[in-house]
Structure 1
Amino acid sequence: MTQDQKTVGAGVGMPAALHLDAYGREISEAFGDVPYLVGSATRTKQWRDVDVRLILADAEFDALFPAHNHPDKTDGRWSLICAAIAELGRQRTGLPIDFQIQRQTDANRLYDGPRHPLGLYATRGDSPPTAENTTQSDCAECSHTDNRAPRQQP
């Protein structure tokens, strides 16, 4: 791995990262799934846009977007929802957001880069992370575990 490929110094910087996490929480509350920061912003500070992906279980994705995999059709519903959520992200964060909703099987098969969950946070009174209270990603290719330590009470 070259110095340019290391994740040290990658990302969107502050305070944009705080706004990006807040945007991620809005998406998570609306869909019940955690969105991910993917693409060049996970590897470097030299990015053209900020890629955010919401990965849904295949059955949920197919129910929302039944026309998505028909090559003879443009999926207007998918395009409009993704564009609207991307624009919301631009307004909320000031970043050039590229937002897409992906089917889990397709995302795992086609995209093998890092995925950084957005919108996760610990609150006061949370228990320290253990095997019993951490969450494991449902993504077959992703081994992310939410094991952020909670903030210490003063």
Structure 2
Amino acid sequence: MRVYGIVGYKNAGKTGLMERLVTEIAGRGFSVSTLKHAHHSFDVDQPGKDSHRHRQAGAQQVLLSSRDRWALMTELRGTDEPPLADLLRQLAPVDLVLVEGYKRDAHPKVEAFRASTGNPLIATDDPTIRAVASDTPLTIDQPVFDLDDTRTIADFILSEVGL
């Protein structure tokens, strides 16, 4: 599977860019999956639902299935968060996996950058960042794209992964 990342600081536009890229790339006929890192605890389940009750009872994994979708929830129960490579192996094969976050991992990435956040560029010190999608002109070694130019960013990523 081909893997490409979108990284950046909070409020830099990562999620919006991811959403637009999935729409653009899937619209070109490629199969796309996403993997997002969350820096906080989250729950996709609801208290009182049967699946939540199974987890609360101590189940290591709960698979919830319906005619429209299925979801597998795995409780870490105090063990370390799995590395990106292990999580990628859990996904069904697709043409491209877009990863939001995991900025310290070795896969190639585009950095989303908004000047208004006041954060520094990650790209200047990270060789895995191959381009920057920015809301302001930048003078750096990597290519710089307009943050809203989804088509050009998609072209770049697809070219980088050989699709």
- Normalised by the length of structure 1, the TM-score is 0.27
- Normalised by the length of structure 2, the TM-score is 0.26
Of structures 1 and 2, the larger Rg is shown by 2
Q: Which has the higher helix share?
A: 1
Q: Which has the higher strand share?
A: 2
